[in-house]
Amino acid sequence: MKKIISICILLLFQLVEAQNYDRFETDQKWLARIEQLAPSQTTIKDVGKKNILVFSKATGFDHWVIPHNAEMLKILGKKTNAFEVHVKYDIEQFEKKNLKKYHAVVFNNCNPSGPDRDLFADLLRQNTSLSNTEIKALAPKYETNMLNYVKEGGGLMILHGGITVQNNSKAFSQMTGGSFDYHPKQQTIHVQEVDKTHPLVKAFKGKGLTHFDEPYFFKNAYFEYHFRPLLFMEVDKLEGLKKETDEKVVYVSWIKRFGKGRVFYSSPSHNAQSIEEPGLLQYFLDGLQYVVGDLKCDDSPMAKP
């Protein structure tokens, strides 16, 4: 009898958890809640307002959190008066002259389609009448523009699925710190700070972040560990792994230098409910300050395991 009761309680918990992570719109009630929870000041004060491009067009898997992230970033910028946030969807933003308008670019879950995983080719295919041959020749120009933009001092912030923008490109992977491999099912994940004293993770107050998310695994440049890891998850705490691995931890957020520019990646989060965590809001705000060069911190590469 006790066993039956325990199973019923577990099933009820799973049902409630699933319901709690249903999709919802960015209505006024939710926006007001984020406005209330968002920090009112930046960590580094008395700096000039920065222009931020939040690129939010997915041509492949369409994460439902995209509009929520865009609104959240606009609220952070407006409430602190530190950022002018421009949400855009067209490939023209990656022309050299347009990239120069921005202090940083945010890849907001702008997943391309598979198997090519080439966002710029997808955007050309959707918005031009060019032939496939012409697209194949032109798309690399936009990738080069983005690589050079960061190398020459621009900032890049990548949210969750934005890591896949050019997922099969070695050069892009080396800039971002890795490429997406796969993820098990969504589940409750406790991500922890690699170094609790690092300025960029102080928002979590030494307690990490527990949320419901897709646990991302990575490939390509990830295993060069040419980044400063910030958050990790323990592999043996995860369910539904699709591949055997010797890794005990997977880093899910990091920062790195690329030329004169700075990159910040955060796998959290897949669901808009995570944005309601004040620590994560502060983390994203600090990440923006890092990529535009206002927040100075240790971003030297970690030692390879």
Average of per-residue pLDDT across 98-126: 97
Length of the chain: 305
pLDDT value for 200 = 98
Q: What are phi and psi of 113, to 5 degrees?
A: -80, 160
Amino acid at 110: C
- Could you give the 3-state DSSP secondary structure of residue 37? helix
What pTM value is reported for the model? 0.92
Q: What is the dihedral of CA 202, 186, 264, 88, to 10 degrees?
A: -120
The radius of gyration of the chain's CA atoms, rounded to the nearest angstrom, is 19
Domain assignments of the chain as residue spans, ordered by start: 42-291
Residue 282, token pair as written in the block: 């502060």
Determine the pLDDT at residue 304.
74
Lowest mean pLDDT among 21-30, 49-58, 217-226, 254-263: 21-30
pLDDT score, position 303: 78
What's the pLDDT score for residue 269? 81
State the average pLDDT over residues 228-236.
98
Q: Does pLDDT of 86 surpass 80?
A: yes
Q: Tell me the C-alpha distance between 67 and 211, whole Å.
A: 19
Residue located via tokens 């960029």: 200
Q: How far apart are CA 239 and CA 221, in angstroms?
A: 25
Task: Please identify, in words, the CATH class of the domain defined by 42-291.
Answer: alpha beta
With cut-offs at 50, 70 and 90, classify the pLDDT of residue 19: very low
Question: Which residues are CB-contacts of 3 (< 8 A; sequence separation ≥ 6)?
Answer: none
User: Which residues neighbour 274 within 8 Å (Cβ) at sequence distance 6 or greater?
Assistant: 209, 211, 212, 213, 268, 280
- Judged by average pLDDT, the poorest of 116-120, 179-183, 242-246, 263-267 is 242-246
The b-or-e profile of 220-230 (16+ CB within 10 A means b, else e) is: bbbeebbbbbb
- The overall average pLDDT reported for the chain is 93
Residue 131 has pLDDT above 50, yes or no: yes
Span 71-88, mean pLDDT? Answer: 98
Residue % of the chain over a pLDDT of 90: 90
| pLDDT confidence bin for 7, thresholds 50/70/90 | very low
Provide the pLDDT for residue 22. 87
Q: Which of 41-45, 89-93, 126-130, 183-187 has the lowest mean pLDDT?
A: 126-130
What integer is the mean pLDDT of 181-189? Answer: 96
Q: Outline where DSSP puts E strands in the chain.
A: 50-55, 83-88, 104-108, 155-159, 179-182, 187-193, 209-213, 217-219, 228-234, 249-258, 261-266
CA 257 to CA 230: how far, in whole Å? 14
Q: Is residue 248 within 8 Å of 222, Cβ to Cβ?
A: no
- Calculate mean pLDDT across residues 203-230: 97
**Looking at residue 6, what is its pLDDT?**
37
